[in-house]
Amino acid sequence: MTSIYLIRHAEAEGNLYRIAQGQHDSNLTDRGWRQVRALERRFAGVPVDAVYASDLYRTCATASAIYKSHGLTLHRRRDLREIHVGDWEQRTWGEIVRRTPQAMEDFGKRMDRWAIPGAETPGQVLERVRRAVESIAAENPGKTVAVFSHGYAIRLLLANLQGISLRDTGEKSPTGDNTAVSLLEWDGEALRVVFQNDNSHLQTPEFLAGEKVRKRAVALEPGLWFRPLAEKEAPPSILAEAAADPDAPLMLTGFLGEEPVGLLQMDPEEGRIGLIYVRPGCRKRGFGVQLVGQAVQYTRERGGERLTVLLPPESEARAFFLDCGFSPAEEEERALLSKFIGFDPEFLGEP
């Protein structure tokens, strides 16, 4: 009997910034790295003979929880990737639900009818991921292996192995948490699910001690969509509230539905943030970090690997930026905070 631990990647930028990652590479968040350490503790005493992962950065980095501690080689496989979401790739979920609300609903609830330009269908994803896992099982008879993949792909496979149709997957097969662990067994002919989506390693006092409460209006709130000031002038009221500079190289207005709730002012060529502002009534809902996510995207697209922000010494915004992974870079008349957004080459490479 071959045992296969099927594991979702740790929290990545798209999960936090409310961006459709698809097959686009993204970094793990600070919380994601804490999940990796929790996963390493969980598997410390579990014999594992081989480790496989999709070739995307977030899965390879998560897989380090097992292959590094067990002294194994990581086998990267493109066929374990997440679904390619075509025109949705790298768009915010807020923009997606605003432009294509029915397709967004089908994506989560009716996989059998979801299809958009340039994307794989859920059926195609299920076929390639199931074939990949069966291939891995056949290559490792009688062994124990760990396979790292993605939330949507894993959800489709687990449902299929339990006889749940694509039509009913949305209702009957939930997405597991980041780093959720499922166990499959292969008898040489068929796969079966022993257990699924176990996140007990994220419920330990050691992990929970570092957790912070996250508030959203609803659990599945899609988040913001953004419009550059150059396309259509942002509402003057929010510009005045934020004391923003309309001549900044980049000014983004963040909208929840049609309501402007925040601003990002920055120079993406330099990765320098001038202002992040969220209206008082919209704070503590994760919108500020979504503005940081836009800063990451715009800077990375231009080849930048670092964000910086210069604050007055007693700025109330300092705690926010530190919570978003910035750290003090140097002390001067104003405090410079910096955040590395590049990819560690240790987890990059061909499959």
More confident residue, 314 or 227: 227
Instruction: Tell me whether residue 351 is in a domain.
Output: no
Instruction: Tell me whether residue 348 is in a domain.
Output: no
Q: Kind of pairing, strands 225-228 and 74-77?
A: unpaired
Same domain as 125, residue 80: yes
Element (H, E) at 202: none
Instruction: Tell me whether residue 73 is in a domain.
Output: yes
According to the model, what pLDDT value does residue 235 have? 60
Q: Rounded mean pLDDT of 192-200?
A: 97
pLDDT of residue 55 exceeding 60: yes
Q: Rounded mean pLDDT of 163-190?
A: 95
Distance CA 248, CA 228 (A): 11
Same domain as 191, residue 229: no
Instruction: Tell me whether residue 244 is in a domain.
Output: yes
Task: Please report which residue ranges of 140-273 form alpha helices under DSSP H.
Answer: 151-161, 166-172, 205-208, 236-242
- What is residue 286's DSSP assignment? S
74: phi then psi, degrees, rounded to nearest 5: -90, 125
Same domain as 128, residue 246: no
Distance CA 293, CA 298 (A): 9
Distance CA 186, CA 133 (A): 10
pLDDT digits 0-9 by tens, 107-148:
999 999 999 999 999 999 999 999 999 999 999 999 999 999
Report the number of distinct structural domains present in the chain. 2
pLDDT digits 0-9 by tens, 31-50:
999 999 999 999 999 999 99
Contacts of 92 (CB under 8 A, 6+ apart): 17, 18, 19, 20, 222, 223, 224, 225, 226, 290
Same domain as 336, residue 277: yes
Contacts of 263 (CB under 8 A, 6+ apart): 234, 238, 239, 242, 244, 251, 252, 253, 254, 275, 276, 277, 291
Instruction: Tell me whether residue 193 is in a domain.
Output: yes
pLDDT of residue 272 exceeding 50: yes
Per-residue pLDDT band for 343 (boundaries 50, 70, 90) equals very high
Distance CA 259, CA 273 (A): 23
According to the model, what pLDDT value does residue 330 have? 66
Contacts of 211 (CB under 8 A, 6+ apart): none
Same domain as 69, residue 36: yes
More confident residue, 35 or 332: 35
Instruction: Tell me whether residue 215 is in a domain.
Output: no
- What is residue 87's DSSP assignment? G
Tokens representing 303 are 């080849």
Same domain as 274, residue 204: no
Instruction: Tell me whether residue 218 is in a domain.
Output: no
Same domain as 238, residue 150: no
More confident residue, 218 or 112: 112
> What CATH number is given to the structural domain containing 123?
3.40.50.1240
Q: Which domain holds residue 22?
A: 2-208
Tokens representing 167 are 């039509």
Same domain as 173, residue 146: yes
Same domain as 253, residue 138: no
Which candidate, 263, 253, 260, 256, places its Cα nearest to that of 226? 253
Question: 3-state DSSP helix/strand/coil percent for the chain, to nearest 5?
Answer: 35, 25, 40
Query: Which residue, 208, 242, 268, sits at the end of a domain?
Result: 208
Distance CA 216, CA 203 (A): 21
Query: Which residue, 175, 208, 241, sits at the end of a domain?
Result: 208
Which candidate, 89, 73, 92, 71, places its Cα nearest to that of 81? 89
Query: In angstroms, what CA-CA distances link 129 with 90, 161, 181, 205?
Result: 22, 12, 16, 34
Please give the biggest Cα pair distance in the chain: 68
Same domain as 264, residue 179: no
pTM: 0.93
Query: Which residue, 208, 237, 258, sits at the end of a domain?
Result: 208
pLDDT digits 0-9 by tens, 8-32:
999 999 999 999 999 999 999 999 9
**Which range has the worst mean pLDDT, 113-127, 249-263, 336-350?**
336-350
pLDDT of residue 219 exceeding 50: no
Element (H, E) at 33: helix 30-42
Instruction: Tell me whether residue 47 is in a domain.
Output: yes
Tally Cβ neighbours within 10 Å of residue 201.
20
pLDDT digits 0-9 by tens, 234-250:
566 787 787 777 778 99
According to the model, what pLDDT value does residue 351 have? 45
Same domain as 313, residue 191: no
pLDDT of residue 348 exceeding 80: no
According to the model, what pLDDT value does residue 216 have? 46
> What CATH number is given to the structural domain containing 264?
3.40.630.30
Same domain as 251, residue 177: no
Distance CA 306, CA 149 (A): 28
